[in-house]
């Protein structure tokens, strides 16, 4: 078991805050995760129920305590508008990131800013050697965020992703883009 992760003090400045979720956030997380794009392109449960958000809160806090990951809400002007997350592999010193934002704040740079801050913390404060991200090739928003931040497209795995609902083998299959970010590459 790793040591508890210490969040950076800088997570609270310039316009948005990154912080762990609390039980107070359950309703808002449930509301945002009804969005069809979040259900389509992330691995949140589908359908997304209140109990899924209730499970997410202790999972996120336990991961932080155990040094296994940071799953943080993005808050702007006191309102939760998104989520960025990193699962940490302490053996290989690498992190896998993911993210979503509320529909009403999209295309305002919120996710790019939040993921940039998360990656800076991973690479500079924690000394993580490599950050990974997998996106559906058919997800222009997510691919654009990766490219903007300096992630390198390392490959495209053909037909590697089965879109939700999980378990529906007749659901659409799409190509998966593998992105990687090494120290010094973050923009
Ligand atoms: C992908 C997602 C997180 C992007 O969030 P966002 O807050 O809109 O991201 P940003 O505002 O930082 O976007 C940065 C750039 O990405 C590009 N972009 C964002 N959404 C786009 C879209 N739907 N189509 C094309 N480009 C897009 C734009 O170039 C944008 O820059 P702009 O402000 O000049 O338009 C959001 O659309 C989302 O939650 N989608 C559903 C969940 C998801 O796909 N998560 C990622 C799984 S890998």
- Residue 36's domain comprises 9-181
Q: Please give the Cα distance from 43 to 165 (Å, whole number).
A: 9
| Ligand 1 atom closest to 136 (CA) | 48
Question: Is 149 part of a structural domain of the chain?
Answer: yes
CATH number at residue 46: 3.40.630.30
- The pLDDT value recorded for residue 169 is 86
Please give the radius of gyration of the chain, using alpha carbons only, rounded to the nearest integer. Answer: 16
Residue 2 placed within a domain: no
Range in 52-56, 124-128, 169-173 the model is least confident about: 169-173
> Does 172 map to a domain?
yes
Ligand 1 pocket check for 145: Cβ under 6 Å: yes
Q: What pLDDT does residue 9 have?
A: 84
Residue 44 lies in a domain: yes
Determine the distance separating the centroid of ligand 1 and the alpha carbon of 141, expressed in angstroms: 3
Closest residue by Cα to atom 38, ligand 1, is 100
Is the CB of residue 38 below 6 angstroms from any atom belonging to ligand 1? Answer: yes
In the chain, helix, strand, coil percent, each to 5? 35, 30, 35
Q: How confident is the model at residue 1 (pLDDT cuts 50, 70, 90)?
A: low
Give me the pLDDT at residue 133, please. Answer: 98
pTM tops 0.85: yes
* pLDDT exceeds 80 at position 2: no
Nearest alpha carbon, ligand 1 atom 42: 38
Taking only the tens place, the pLDDT of each residue in 52-81 is 999 999 999 999 999 999 999 999 999 999
Structurally, the chain folds into a number of domains equal to 1
Q: pLDDT band for position 42 (50/70/90)?
A: very high
């Amino acid at each position: 078991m790793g040591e508890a992760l210490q969040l950076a003090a800088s997570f609270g400045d310039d316009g948005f805050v990154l912080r762990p979720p609390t039980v107070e956030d359950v309703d808002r997380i449930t509301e945002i995760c009804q969005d069809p794009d979040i259900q389509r392109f992330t691995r949140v449960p589908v359908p997304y129920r209140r109990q899924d958000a209730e499970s997410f809160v202790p999972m996120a806090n336990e991961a932080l305590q155990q040094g296994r990951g940071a799953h943080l809400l993005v808050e702007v002007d006191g309102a939760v508008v998104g989520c960025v997350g990193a699962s940490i592999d302490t053996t290989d010193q690498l992190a896998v990131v993911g993210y979503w934002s509320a529909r009403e704040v999209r295309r305002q740079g919120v996710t790019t800013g939040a993921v940039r801050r998360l990656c800076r913390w991973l690479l500079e404060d924690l000394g993580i050697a490599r950050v990974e991200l997998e996106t559906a090739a058919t997800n222009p928003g997510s691919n654009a965020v990766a490219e903007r931040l300096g992630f390198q497209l390392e490959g495209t795995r053909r037909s590697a992703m089965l879109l939700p609902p999980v378990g529906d083998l007749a659901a659409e299959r799409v190509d998966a883009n593998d992105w990687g970010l090494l120290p010094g590459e973050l923009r």
